[in-house]
Amino acid sequence: MKANRLKTILGSARVWTVLVLAAWAVQVQAAATTLTVWHAYRGKEKAAFEKVVANYNKQAAAKGVEATTLAVPYDAYADKITAAVPRGKGPDVFIFAQDRLGGWVEGGSTVEPIGFFLDDKTRNQFLPSMLEAMTYRNTVYGLPLNYKSITLIYNKKLVKVPPKSSGELVKLAKSLTDAAAGRFGLAYAYNDYYYHAALQNAFGGRAFDPGPKPVLNAPQNIAAMKLLLKWIRQDAILPAEPSTALITSLFNDGKAAMVFSGPWFLGEVAPGLDYGLAPLPTIDEAGGKPMRPWLTIEGVYVAMSSRHKEAAYDLAKYLVSEEAGLVLAVEGRQLHTNKAVYTHKAVADDPVLSAFRKQLDTATPMPNFAEMTVMWSPATTAMNTIVRGAARPEVALEKAQRTVEKDVAALRKGR
């Protein structure tokens, strides 16, 4: 009996040792580098992105690197990054627009500077001003992935030839406007500073001077406001209280002939509505200079808490390469930042992609300072006050300037 029991115990001990050793061996082999990528894409973009990452995994399997993606809902995305990465719980790579970059760099311990890995070949593969958006205080923090800006979207049934100058725009819009019937020639969210920036930049206006120093009350900004008021009051080509929901429904009902909006608008256009895209017109009042919309550039960042920074950079480099860019552009309908992508027929012949590429020639990246966030609320208040006629542009902008200066100074306390 005893011998039997001993044998059973020994036998099982042997079996267990073998099992444990095997498991350990398997684990050692499978202990490849796993990279986590966070993004906030949905639908087609998400599918295209996951396809690109799968391609990367095929190539990187030889090095033992595997990347997994996680789609985070957009509302909570920025806060999740801000909370998770400094505590070491975040991803290795994440994709985000450049507007939060300044805030993250000032807060510290979120974004890893990657200037060290950047070689000239990578630097030169991007369209102009893309890398600039990823740079804060002359340090490069991410690789630009795609860009978005607003452009002129028009209903082909109502508008045969898109206007090239503001004079043509006003003439055309007036002929298509019947305010009593609720029809307008032009509709865009003109009380949103982001959209208004296109008009303001044409005059040479800006929110911040290098420093960054707020200059909301610059004379060029006031001139841009005056032009906007002319469009609303004298020319009466714009609807009142424009919200994005209103603009979309007006355009879809055929009640708005032209719209200034970006790629996000195209997904909401009613099927069957024949629309065209054209670059934003030039502004006669600004000496024929073109409207220069702000670019929102999404970048691929390496998280500071990542344990495999070089592998993460490798993945980032792949995502902005020509191969990945083609998939993202054609299938994900993204406007990729790699110059080479636009030489492919599939992209060059696409009306939407080529239209936004043309708009890029006159677009400018939105500033990525941390101080930008304190600018939005006073600027929006000023816009609403001016548009409603409750205050003159000079007065409202002066008030906004004082508020922003005060808030920026409150942020920058010296030691």
Partner 1 sequence: MKLRALLTQPATLGLLLAVASGVLLSEWFFAQAQDELLAERQERAVVMQAMALADQVAAVEAAAPDSSAPRLAALSRAWSARFSDIVAIRVVRSADAQFLASTDPRDVAPLPRQLAREEKPLYDLGQELRANVETNAAEGVFRKKQIDVARLDRTRLRVAVPYAVGGQVLGFVQVEQRVAAPALPPATGRVAVAIAAPIALFLLAAAAAWRRGRTAPPGRPWAQFGVALLLLGAALYGEARDGLAELGARHERFAVELAQQYTAAKREFESATQALAVKAVTDNRWDVDDYQRPRAIIGADGSVDRIALADELGARATRVTRGLWGNAALSVLVLGFVAFGYARRLRLTLVEHKIAYRYVAPAILGMLVLVFFPFIYGVTLSFTDTTLFNENLPLRELWVGLKNYIVILGDFQVIRGTEGGWVVNYQNFYWTLFITIAWTVCNVTIGVSLGLLLALALNTKGLRFTNVYRVLLILPWAIPNYITALTWRGMFHKQYGVINQVIQMFGGEPVSWFDGVFTSFLTGIATNGWLSFPFMMVITLGGLQSIPQDAYEAARVEGASRWQQFRHITLPYLRPTLIPAIIISVVWTFNMFNIIYLVSGGEPAGSNEILITQAYKIAFEKYQYGYAAAYSVVIFMILLVYGVFQNRVTRATEAIA
Give the residue carrying structure tokens 């450049």: 98
**Could you give the string, one character per residue 288-327, with x where binding to partner 1 holds by CB under 8 A and - elsewhere?**
---------------------xx-----------------
**Could you give the string, one character per residue 231-270, with x where binding to partner 1 holds by CB under 8 A and - elsewhere?**
--------xxx-x-xx------------------------
Beta bridge partners of 33: 65
Q: Quick one: the chain helix, strand, coil %, rounded to 5?
A: 50, 20, 30
CA dihedral 214, 220, 225, 229 (to 10 degrees): 170
Residue 154's nearest CA partner among 143, 164, 144, 140 is: 164
How far apart are CB 77 and partner 1 at their closest, in Å?
15
Check: CB of residue 300 under 8 Å from CB of residue 142. Answer: yes
Give the residue carrying structure tokens 């409202």: 396
CB under 8 A: which stretch of 38-46, 89-97, 257-265, 404-412 binds partner 1?
Answer: 404-412
For residue 92, give the DSSP letter: S
**Could you give the string, one character per residue 123-142, with x where binding to partner 1 holds by CB under 8 A and - elsewhere?**
--------------xxx---
Residue 331 burial by Cβ neighbours in a 10 Å radius (0-12, 13-18, 19+): middle
Among 89, 116, 128, 233, binds partner 1 (CB under 8 A): 116
Distance CA 346, CA 11 (A): 65
By C-beta, is 107 or 204 nearer to partner 1?
107
Size of the site for partner 1 (CB under 8 A): 40
How far apart are CB 266 and partner 1 at their closest, in Å?
22
By C-beta, is 140 or 286 nearer to partner 1?
140
Among 101, 256, 374, 379, binds partner 1 (CB under 8 A): 374
Instruction: Give 132's contacts (C-beta < 8 A, 6+ positions apart).
Output: 365
Distance CA 184, CA 165 (A): 18
Q: Does 410 bind partner 1 (CB under 8 A)?
A: yes
Residues that bind partner 1 (CB under 8 A): 103, 106-109, 113, 115-117, 137-139, 182, 210-211, 239-241, 243, 245-246, 309-310, 370, 373-374, 376-377, 381, 384-385, 388, 390, 407, 410-415
